Chain A
Amino acid sequence: MNTKVERLENNVVKIEVTVPADKFKEALKKSYEKNASRFNVPGFRKGKAPMAIVERYYGEGVFYEDAINFIVEETYPKVVEENDIHPVDYPELDIIQIGKNVDFIYTAKVIVKPEVKLGQYKGLEATKISYMVTDEDVEAELNMLKEKNARIIVKEDGTIEKGDIAVIDFEGFIDGKPFEGGKAENYELVIGSLTFIPGFEDQLVGAKKGDTVDVNVTFPEDYHVESLKGKPALFKVTIKEIKTKEYPVVDDEFAKDVSEFETLEELKADIRKKLQEANEKRAKMELEDQLVGKVVNASEVDIPEVMINQEIDYMIKDMDYRLRYQGLNINQYLEMMGITMEDLRRDFKEVATNRVKTSLVLEAIAKAEGITATEEEIEKRAEEIAKRYGVKDIERMKKAIIESQRALIAEEIVNNKVIDLIVNESKIIIG
């Protein structure tokens, strides 16, 4: 096997491969074996005609297609590996010479990963913002816990207060006439939630169960229904039921109920610690993004269109996948947003370009610095992922993960290492 590799512009590489004649004959034979059952020659049962007869009867060309496939499948990956070519797309094949007793020559044109002109990636400057956890943050977290543990109870007597839920029937009139959409029954309105137009909920405060209240409001100027804008309206509201939320008292008892801690102080300390960690993570992420962004900006890459398109495809697939969780799919989403697939692709293009560039730059740095993922690191990471699945046989899961996602895991590890390198080599100003 002879190969000639030629680098054309725009990241295209042209490979010319010469396969010796006997090798091609072998491929023809394989091709015959694969297709023998398809050929029907008089005098022979299906699949029993010898190769020479089939060739005679159907012409030499019948075996070419598969033979070419066999040869290319066998030689192309080898050539790619031997010459350190990193294709990003399927190759475009051209047959130069083919025949039974001549060498088989083909060329493959393929777009490869572009060369990255790395910018400065060491000794950069970046500010790390430290986020402090305030007492208010802790308090807000506690309140959320309180809200989550609140119970809804029906108020038999008493009046509507802010925060209560009123079950109401209402009908709205403009100039004494009912209007469309102004009527409902058994509506559960949270007073103070500002679900309704301003003033409506306030006027219900103080009413009792069974009361009928006239609510006078004016529709705001920016109301979404054109005909109602700025119109004064009268709502006749009947209160059918009042519900209120009963909040638990925040004390040691509460702490015991909602967490594994004994006292409120411990719970608070834990909340603080968790918030601190989250903030720390956020600050680190922001710092990394900042630095990586700088490196990427400083580097130059001529990104082939296919790579961007592949990334866009991936993003759309991912989006579709996420939409399916909500019972939608990508086409419905497009319809809802009133945009076409082309619009969406255009919107994604910038992000996709950036992503591709970032990964190329990180890869280039890894190469320049000789960063690789070791076998132990891959195993460790696979084990972490395996544990997340919550299966019993972690060892087997781990093996399965390594087998199927090895490259992905290795890439992740290398990327993390590269980012660490960039961060460690940078001057970081604590802001």
Chain B
Amino acid sequence: MKLTNYDIIIRPIITEKTMNQMALRQYTFLVHPDANKSMIKRAVEEIFGVKVESVKTMNYQGKRKRVGLSFGKKPDYKKAIVKLTEDSKAIEFFEGFGA
């Protein structure tokens, strides 16, 4: 199945750290684990109408959780830090995008 732009970019990750990185034109997103850098780059450019300079991604193992005797596992996830080019406009979250 082909991933749409909105399947790739799940939500922005907003923490103190990512807020500080925004000043450096780096925006952090939770992305689909199967998406690769070029897919993420295209998705961000299309959704926000910006120009992307580079994308760094990282995969995370979901945490193991225990409820009583049974073990479970939170889903794995992928994080992407997207750096915009200097002449690109900034991304404004909070406008139709869930925080």
Contacts and interface: CB of A to CB of B under 8 A. Distances in A.
Nearest to B15: A43
Contacts of B13: 43
A49 B13 CA distance: 14
A22 B18 CA distance: 29
Given A52-B94, A56-B94, A44 B16 contact: yes
Nearest to B94: A56
A45 interface: yes
Contacts of A50: 19
Interface in A52-97: 52-53, 56-57
Q: Chain B interface secondary structure, helix, strand, loop or mixed?
A: loop
A81 B99 CA distance: 46
A36 to B, nearest CB: 13
A256 interface: no
A44 B15 contact: yes
Contacts of A44: 15-16
A48 B16 contact: yes
A57 B99 contact: yes
**Interface centre among B13, B14, B94, by most A CB within 10 Å?**
B14
A56 B15 contact: no
A72 B13 CA distance: 38
A392 B24 CA distance: 65
Contact of A45 (B16, B18, B99): B16
A43 B15 CA distance: 4
A52 B14 CA distance: 12
Nearest to A52: B94
B73 to A, nearest CB: 21
Nearest to B18: A43
A57 to B, nearest CB: 7
B47 to A, nearest CB: 19
Contacts, number: 19
Interface in A20-58: 42-45, 48-50, 52-53, 56-57
Contacts of B18: 43
Interface string A236-261: 00000000000000000000000000
A268 to B, nearest CB: 90
A52 B19 CA distance: 11
Interface string B69-99: 0000000000000000000000000100001
Interface in B15-64: 15-16, 18-19
A52 B22 CA distance: 14
Contacts of A48: 16
B10 to A, nearest CB: 15
A43 B16 contact: yes
Contacts of A43: 13-16, 18
Contacts of B94: 52, 56
B49 to A, nearest CB: 21
A173 B59 CA distance: 109
A43 B19 CA distance: 10
Nearest to A42: B15
B16 A56 contact: no
**Interface centre among A50, A53, A57, by most B CB within 10 Å?**
A53
Nearest to B98: A56
A56 B13 CA distance: 14
A52 B13 CA distance: 15
A43 B17 CA distance: 8
Contacts of A49: 16
Nearest to B17: A43
A45 B15 CA distance: 9
B29 to A, nearest CB: 14
Contacts of A57: 99
A56 to B, nearest CB: 5
Contacts of A56: 94, 99
Nearest to A49: B16
B99 to A, nearest CB: 5
A40 to B, nearest CB: 13
A77 B99 CA distance: 41
Contacts of B14: 43, 53
A394 B12 CA distance: 68
A50 B93 CA distance: 13
A52 B18 CA distance: 14
B21 to A, nearest CB: 13
Interface of B: 13-16, 18-19, 94, 99
Closest 8 CB pairs of A and B: A43-B15, A44-B16, A56-B99, A48-B16, A56-B94, A43-B14, A50-B19, A44-B15
Given A53-B19, A53-B99, 8 more contacts: A43-B13, A43-B18, A44-B16, A49-B16, A50-B19, A53-B14, A56-B94, A57-B99
16 contacts: A42-B15, A43-B13, A43-B14, A43-B15, A43-B16, A43-B18, A44-B15, A48-B16, A49-B16, A50-B19, A53-B14, A53-B19, A53-B99, A56-B94, A56-B99, A57-B99
